[in-house]
Structures are given as C-alpha cells and as structure tokens.
A and B are shown apart, each in its own frame.
Chain A
Amino acid sequence: MTSERPTTLLAELTHRCPLHCPYCSNPLDLLRADREISTDDWKRTISQARELGVLQLGLSGGEPLIRKDLEELAAHARRLGLYSTLVTSGLGLTRKRAEALKEAGLEHIQISVQDSDTTSAERIAGTSSVKQKRAAIAIVRELGFAFSINVVLHRGNLDRIGEIIDLAASLGADRLELANTQYYGWGLKNRATLMPTREQVTRAKGIAEEAMRRHKGRMQIIFVLPDYFEDRPKACYGGWGRFYIVVGPDGSALPCHGAYALPNLTLPNVRDHSIDWIWHESPAFQAFRGNAWMKEPCVSCPMQAATFAGCRCQALALTGDATNPDPVCTLSPHRHLIDEAVADNAAPLTYEYRDFVIEPQGA
C-alpha cells in the first residue's frame, strides 16, 4: 500500500503515428490498431484515475489524433475537472478537429518540433511534416489553446538550440520543453547516432539558461540536462509508483512508459482491474516502491530519497538487472557503460526509424 496519490495519468491512446522519430518513447514492439482498447475502457480508466487523485491527463500516443474518440475523451476529462494536455505531432490537427477539441474543453496542446531547419526536421521525423505542423500551430494559436512546443534534443539538432528557441518564440509558444533524448527503446537503438558531444551539451545549456531569462514572463523554457552527462541519476517519474500511471494502447498499466521492457513484471490491465487496485495492490506498481529491493550503494545512500536509485529501465537495459543502481550514478560499478556510450558519438546521422517491425525476442 502507499499513502501517496497519483497526480498524472499518461494515456497512450495508440502507437499509430505518421512520424517515425528514431527516439520515440513507445516500446520497440509497437501495438497495432486491433489491440487498442475501447472508448468506454478509456472513459472508465480516466474516471477511476480522477477518483484516486489524478489531476493531470496526458492524451498521448503515438499520434492521439488518429483516435476518432479523442474529442469524447477530452470532454469526459474536462467534465471531471482534469487538466488535459494533447501531446501531438500536429499532423491531423485540422481546424474542424481543433474546434471540436476546444468545444470539448481541452486546455493545453503540445506540438512536437523536430528542428528549426526544415531538411533536418523532416529527416528526423522520417517524413514530410513541417508545413502541416506550422498550419496546426497557427490554428492552435488562433483558437487560444495553451500552447507548448516540445523538442527532443540530440547531436543532430543541438547546435541549433538558439535557432530552435527563436523559432518557438516566433511561433508564439507559451512554453518550450527542450528535452534531451532519453536512451530507452528506440532511443537506445539509435544511441550512437543521437548521442551529443560534451561540448554540445555545455554550449546548449548556456544558451538555454540565457534564453530562460530573456523570455521569462512570455515563454517558459524547460531544459533538462541529459542524465548521461550528470553524476547522479534522476528520480525517474519522481519515483516508481509515486505520481504517474501510464496506460498503453492495449490497456496495460505501467508506472513509467519504459516499463514494458522489464522482465518478470506482469503488467495489470485496465480491462481486468480498477485503477485503484492497480495503484495500491498490483505487484507491478509495488515492485520498486520503497527501498527493500535496492542494492548497495543505494541502500545506504543519503540521496536515496531524492533519486530512488534512478531508473529501473536504464539499469535493466544497460546492466541486465533492473535492481542494480542506475549506471548513470558515478557510484555505480557500471558507470563505465555510460562513459563509453558518451564517448561513442561519431556514428553518421543515419537513423533507424521507428516503425511497426517485429523485433526478434531478446534482441
């Protein structure tokens, strides 16, 4: 049991997406449309999450606009008092749908931008998309939505961070999330291609911090240093099963979007169980709560309460054991794996695009 209540439900409505970004946070084993749960399943899930204490709803994917019931789900969430964010590529956000979402009471739209340079942006997305994104952004602004731009940063665009910030300001973003690539799933597959140099990261940090001051009061800028370049791990999702519930397209419930990859973790499904049971009782949400599962040096570490030993998915992906300390930590016996990955940054910019490919098991 936990006394804490979740704050955020991330609803990954679908894995279908017109883009093929090589750092996609969806699992390698993408689910097709026939595995997606129904509108009623989602409405029940959202209601139960709200009863449990969820305040924020992320309507995400894949591309959530592919779901025809998006407006109905947004309206349902608004009636319950949730603050909802549509996390979208912008592709498919026609005026008609944007107006319907406004009518439904959706408050916040976050549109991804891949780069300030069109050629590079479309190479990253793996498809022509910039023109459609600009059109969607104009509609979002015109209808008065709260509007964020999200940019995933990596070696191929980090040198243009200044131009990217200028572009976001000129597009009228209320908020700009500059998110350095996280190396799970697709991102890990493309790590050597995405990995920035230390010089790039240092320069980008300086530019971002200066821009934060310059745009204060007009555009909020969020810049998070990539964890590979830190000495201590980040508290992934604020700690396992403490704030977040992620529900995938097929109704699987996870404490973080990377947890699909964890072995021996039986994911509860919203078609079989209530959100209350999933949060309080399911073995998956209990698995890494507290510190009973931790190893040294985490068990006796004074930072344990702030980092929760870091990310389980990263520990698994890089060390082969999800209960190991996150190898980002310089106290981890596996830190050399991070240092080696940081040094491995010379691969040509040819991405392995996200797509519906069946991965061999264990690959």
Chain B
Amino acid sequence: MSLTADSIPRLWRLARLDYDPARQRPVLLYPEGAVLLNDTGKAILELVDGCRSVADIAAILGERYGTDVSADVTEYLSRLETRELIQ
C-alpha cells in the first residue's frame, strides 16, 4: 500500500463529492467516471481536506464509531489512490 498513516491525502483536483438523487447514494464524480459511495466512504472522503493525515482521519472516525478503523481507512484511501482519485 502506498499510503501510510502519515500520508496527507487530497482529493484529485478533478473530482468532487456529490449526492445522486436517482440512486439515493453519495457519489464521487470525476471526468468520464463516477464512484457510488456508501456512507462509510462518504464519511472518509468528507474528512479528506489536504491537511489531515490518514491517521487524523482514522482517529476522528474511530471516535465517532467507537472502534479502531485505521486499517479500513488506509485500505479505502489506498484503493482510491491506485485509481488516482486520491493523491
């Protein structure tokens, strides 16, 4: 995995988070593509601001859900990083 706890992820300049009223799902939109998100994905991406580290994001969500989500957050963001949606 190319992202570590210290990495500071940011959303690709060309992508934006939105809500798809037809599917009633949050969605990540970018040129010629879209990723339908679940609520967890949305919660993670909403915290990606180019300032917080992966560890910061995991800590905030860990507190919110009352469990350690570090591995899930790193894995999720790494998957999007492979697709160049997270840099």
Chain B residues lying within 8 Å of A85, measured Cβ to Cβ, are 31-32
Instruction: Name the segment of B17-25, B48-56, B61-69, B71-79 touching the other chain.
Output: B17-25
A55 and B29 in contact (CB under 8 A), knowing A146-B13, A174-B13, A220-B84?
Answer: yes
User: Bound complex: CA of A51 vs CA of B31, how far in Å?
Assistant: 20
Contact present for B23 and A53 (CB under 8 Å): yes
Select one of A5, A8, A51, A146 contacting B14, CB under 8 A. Answer: A146
A202 to B: closest C-beta gap in Å: 25
User: Bound complex: CA of A81 vs CA of B25, how far in Å?
Assistant: 13
User: Bound complex: CA of A114 vs CA of B14, how far in Å?
Assistant: 24
User: Bound complex: CA of A81 vs CA of B33, how far in Å?
Assistant: 14
Does A52 sit within 8 A of B, measured CB to CB? yes
Q: Find residues 107-133 in chain A having any chain B CB closer than 8 Å to their own CB.
A: 107-108, 110
- Using a Cβ–Cβ cut-off of 8 Å, how many residues does chain A contribute to the interface with B? 22
Query: Would you give the 0/1 interface string for B16-52, flagging 1 where the beta carbon is closer than 8 Å to chain A?
Result: 1011111100010111111000000000000000000
Name which of A7, A81, A83 has the most chain B CB atoms within 10 A of its CB: A83
Contact present for B34 and A53 (CB under 8 Å): no
Does B4 sit within 8 A of A, measured CB to CB? no
Q: Find residues 1-15 in chain A having any chain B CB closer than 8 Å to their own CB.
A: 5, 7-8
Query: Would you give the 0/1 interface string for A45-86, flagging 1 where the beta carbon is closer than 8 Å to chain B?
Result: 000001111011000000000000000000000000101010
Does A362 sit within 8 A of B, measured CB to CB? no
Does B87 sit within 8 A of A, measured CB to CB? yes
User: Bound complex: CA of A305 vs CA of B30, how far in Å?
Assistant: 26
User: Bound complex: CA of A123 vs CA of B78, how far in Å?
Assistant: 44
Does A148 sit within 8 A of B, measured CB to CB? yes
Select one of A52, A56, A216 contacting B22, CB under 8 A. Answer: A52
Q: Count the A-B residue pairs with Cβ separation under 8 angstroms: how many?
A: 47
B12 to A: closest C-beta gap in Å: 8
B23 to A: closest C-beta gap in Å: 6
Does A217 sit within 8 A of B, measured CB to CB? yes
Q: Find residues 137-174 in chain A having any chain B CB closer than 8 Å to their own CB.
A: 146, 148, 174
User: Bound complex: CA of A55 vs CA of B21, how far in Å?
Assistant: 10
Chain A residues lying within 8 Å of B87, measured Cβ to Cβ, are 217
Contact present for A51 and B22 (CB under 8 Å): yes
User: Bound complex: CA of A108 vs CA of B12, how far in Å?
Assistant: 13
Contact present for A56 and B29 (CB under 8 Å): yes
User: Bound complex: CA of A148 vs CA of B84, how far in Å?
Assistant: 15
User: Bound complex: CA of A166 vs CA of B13, how far in Å?
Assistant: 21
A50 and B22 in contact (CB under 8 A), knowing A146-B14, A175-B14, A217-B84?
Answer: yes
Chain B residues lying within 8 Å of A56, measured Cβ to Cβ, are 29, 32-34
Q: Which chain A residue lies CB-closest to B23?
A: A53
Chain A residues lying within 8 Å of B31, measured Cβ to Cβ, are 83, 85, 108, 110, 146, 148, 175
Query: Would you give the 0/1 interface string for A76-112, flagging 1 where the beta carbon is closer than 8 Å to chain B?
Result: 0000010101000000000000000000000110100
Chain B residues lying within 8 Å of A8, measured Cβ to Cβ, are 32
Contact present for A7 and B18 (CB under 8 Å): no
Contact present for A5 and B23 (CB under 8 Å): yes
Q: Which chain A residue lies CB-closest to B22?
A: A53
User: Bound complex: CA of A56 vs CA of B16, how far in Å?
Assistant: 12
Chain B residues lying within 8 Å of A174, measured Cβ to Cβ, are 13-14
Chain B residues lying within 8 Å of A83, measured Cβ to Cβ, are 16, 18, 29-31, 34
User: Bound complex: CA of A124 vs CA of B80, how far in Å?
Assistant: 37
User: Bound complex: CA of A107 vs CA of B31, how far in Å?
Assistant: 9
Chain A residues lying within 8 Å of B20, measured Cβ to Cβ, are 53, 55
Contact present for B23 and A216 (CB under 8 Å): no
Contact present for A81 and B18 (CB under 8 Å): yes
A3 to B: closest C-beta gap in Å: 12
Chain B residues lying within 8 Å of A81, measured Cβ to Cβ, are 18-19, 21
List 15 extra interface pairs beyond A50-B22, A55-B20, A110-B31, CB under 8 A: A5-B23, A52-B22, A55-B27, A55-B29, A56-B33, A81-B18, A81-B21, A83-B18, A83-B31, A107-B16, A108-B14, A146-B14, A146-B31, A175-B14, A217-B84
Q: List 7 A-B contacts (CB under 8 A).
A: A5-B22, A51-B22, A55-B27, A81-B19, A83-B16, A110-B31, A217-B84
Interfacial residues, chain B to chain A (CB-CB below 8 A): 12-14, 16, 18-23, 27, 29-34, 84, 87
